[in-house]
Amino acid sequence: MTLLSNISPPLIPGSLSQQMSVLDLFLPGFTNITTAASQVLSGNLTGYTQLMCLFALAAFLKPYVSQLKDWFLQHCTSTIYIKSSDETYHMVQTWISSQGLDDTARSILAKVKTKQNPTQGHDPHAKKALRYAPWEGSFVFWYKHNLLYYQTTQVDVGFHKEEQISITCAGRSGILRELLEDCRRGYLNESKNKTTIHGHRDEYWRKEKAVAARPLSTVILDEKQKDDLIKDIQNFLNPETRHWYSQHSIPYKRGYLLHGPPGTGKSSFSLSIAGESDMDIYVVSIPDANDQMLKGLLG
């Protein structure tokens, strides 16, 4: 009797095709693609047919590549969003411009500089100088050895569109917070000795301009009234006063009513108080205001 060993089991006809059909349940079109790819690699097809197979392979892989990209962005990246209605938008734009990164953007918004730095004197060559800022589009840049992705888009806000900045990094959002902190410091340094005036559009504040801080000594007003008001403001801004309001559950608010004929210094005095206290001015047009708008602006 002869013993046979190491005999491979017979190949069951159709087993390979059955495996392929099972894979088709999870990856539709897998069998056709692998068959075409095998023929392409073996060189059994003409150049035109090979090209068509490559296009078919790209079309087959596209949704899976898109899903892989979405998964990576969702689980491996962090993104911070900044609306143009927030002052952070101006902080980021100022930093981007100061770093020369606006030259990297493919889509750029050009504006005329309407204000000239008074410390530079009159320069006829700087008249109608242009400033540039990234517009709708995207670009990448390096920040502290991290590659960041900057993108601007237009989003619907009520009945109008608003620009929105998004900055994306790999990993956690710590580097994005550092970037915004750098933007904030640079913005405050540029705004030093200036008073920023904000207007509003519906329920959102918008920066309108920044003017040189006006000294109190330039405002003609009764000295006693001026001193009493300044002392009261300084006392109110004292951290101990805020703590006292909080302890007694009193809303931390203070209001002053300045009245008088036009040209008597009400606006000038308000501007000088803001400069003296290192605060901004927010202007509300009373005829256009309503309860909902004020709640949104002051909320």
The residue with greater pLDDT, 40 or 94, is: 94
CA pair distance 252, 241, nearest whole angstrom: 9
Q: What is the average per-residue pLDDT within 182-189? A: 91
Residue 265 Rama label (left phi>0; alpha psi -120 to 50; beta): left
Delimit the domains of the chain by residue range: 23-75, 77-115+129-192, 196-298
Tokens 């889509």 sit on residue? 107
Asked whether residue 32 carries a pLDDT value surpassing 90, the answer given is no
pTM of the model: 0.62
The total of other beta-carbon atoms located within 10 Å of residue 165's CB is 20
pLDDT tens across 245-285, in order? 999 999 998 888 888 888 888 888 888 888 888 888 888 87
In SS3 terms, 48-76 reads as HHHHHHHHHHHHHHHHHHHHHHHHHHHHH
Asked whether residue 240 carries a pLDDT value surpassing 70, the answer given is yes
Asked whether residue 296 carries a pLDDT value surpassing 60, the answer given is yes
Residue 237 Rama label (left phi>0; alpha psi -120 to 50; beta): alpha
* 152 beta partners: 137, 165
Tokens 């040209």 sit on residue? 263
Asked whether residue 101 carries a pLDDT value surpassing 60, the answer given is yes
Is residue 254 within 8 A of residue 235, CB to CB? The reply is no
CA pair distance 104, 82, nearest whole angstrom: 20
pLDDT tens across 137-153, in order? 788 899 999 999 998 88
Residue 98: HSE in the Cβ half-sphere, 13 Å Cα cutoff: 14
CA pair distance 206, 84, nearest whole angstrom: 8
Task: Return the minimum-mean-pLDDT range out of 15-29, 201-215, 216-230.
Answer: 15-29
Q: Which of 38-47, 158-167, 175-184, 195-204 has the highest mean pLDDT?
A: 175-184
